[in-house]
Structures are given as structure tokens and as C-alpha cells.
């Protein structure tokens, strides 16, 4: 079915990517449906009764929001993993083997070039190498404080 390991890895990466994108699309459709529902605000003169009536829908809403958050998180993780699998799939290098006719043509074309002699060019002088960059010097805080204190003290003049 699959000819190489690369094809298997590519197929699994595409499958993981497709599942992640499908889950993200489903999450956004669910969130859109959730947000377009009509919301009603319960009002009553009794505060305890109103609070009790509003608490059940509030808890249901919180559960749905957590559900949507987890779905979005898992969908994004799957999408990231799918892209990572596709990007880091092993590369297959194709090595072309030249035919005998091409090899003989290349040798024939190379033979006259050997006969011709080009005027020799003067070799270019090598660019001067740059001196190495200075090493970083780290002064411990204790020594820095001592040096600062020494420089601030007035020196006696004679």
C-alpha cells in the first residue's frame, strides 16, 4: 500500500492535521451557536428565589464554556502536532544515474577543454583574517563594589 516510510509519515501527519482542524471548526460552530442563543434575565422581588433560578443556568453555561475551551485546546494541539509531523518528515533524496550515452558525451565535451589552455590568472591574495573578538570579562559584584568605593575616596594630595 505505502511504498516508503515518508508516505506513511505524511499520511499520519495529514490525518492528525485533519482531525485537529475538524475539531477546531466544530468548536467554533458550537461557540457560535452558543452565543446566538437568546438569553433571558430572570427578575423577581425575592432575591433568594431569583438567585436560585439563575444559578442552574449559570452552572450549565460554565460547563459548556469549559467544554468549548478544552475542545479548542485539544484541537489546536492536534493541529500543531500534525503540522510538526509534516514538516519534520524525513526527506527523500533522488539520485539520478546518468546513462552511458550521456557519460560518453560528457567525456567527449570535457576532452577539448583539456587541450585549450587558458591564460593563468594571478591568485587573489587572501583577505586578512580579523582578530578574534575580545572575551567577555565578568566582574563579581563584590569586586565591582570595592572598585567603585576605591574610586570615590579622595586621594591625599601632597
pLDDT tens figures, 117-139:
555 666 666 667 776 776 777 77
In the chain, where the domains are located: 5-87
* Residue 40 CA neighbour count, 13 Å, CB half: 5
CA distance 109 to 120: 22
Average pLDDT over every residue of 45-60: 79
Does residue 50 contact residue 43 with C-beta atoms inside 8 Å? yes
Share above pLDDT 90 across residues of the chain, in percent, rounded to a whole number: 22
Does residue 90 contact residue 9 with C-beta atoms inside 8 Å? yes
How much is the pTM? 0.49
Average pLDDT over every residue of 76-86: 92
The answer on pLDDT for 114 being more than 60 is no
Does residue 75 contact residue 20 with C-beta atoms inside 8 Å? yes
CA distance 52 to 44: 11
Share above pLDDT 70 across residues of the chain, in percent, rounded to a whole number: 65
Express each pLDDT in 85-111 by its tens digit.
Answer: 888 877 765 555 556 656 566 665 555
Q: 4, 26, 12: which is closest to 82 by C-alpha?
A: 12
pLDDT confidence of residue 21: 94
Q: Name the helix (H) or strand (E) containing 102.
A: helix 100-115
The answer on pLDDT for 31 being more than 70 is yes
CA dihedral 40, 44, 47, 52 (to 10 degrees): -50
Amino acid at each position: 500500500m505505502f511504498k516508503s516510510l515518508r508516505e506513511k509519515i505524511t499520511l499520519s501527519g495529514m490525518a492528525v492535521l485533519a482531525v485537529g482542524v475538524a475539531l477546531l471548526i466544530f468548536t467554533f460552530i458550537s461557540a457560535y451557536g452558543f452565543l446566538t442563543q437568546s438569553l433571558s434575565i430572570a427578575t423577581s422581588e425575592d432575591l433568594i428565589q431569583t438567585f436560585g433560578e439563575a444559578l442552574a443556568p449559570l452552572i450549565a453555561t460554565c460547563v459548556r464554556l469549559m467544554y468549548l475551551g478544552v475542545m479548542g485546546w485539544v484541537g489546536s494541539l492536534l493541529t500543531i502536532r500534525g503540522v510538526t509531523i509534516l514538516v519534520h518528515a524525513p526527506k527523500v533524496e533522488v539520485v539520478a544515474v546518468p546513462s552511458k550515452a550521456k557519460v560518453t558525451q560528457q567525456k567527449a565535451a570535457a576532452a577539448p577543454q583539456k587541450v585549450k589552455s587558458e591564460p593563468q590568472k594571478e591568485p587573489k591574495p587572501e583577505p586578512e583574517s580579523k582578530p578574534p573578538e575580545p572575551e567577555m570579562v565578568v566582574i563579581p559584584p563584590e569586586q565591582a563594589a570595592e572598585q567603585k568605593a576605591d574610586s570615590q575616596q579622595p586621594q591625599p594630595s601632597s
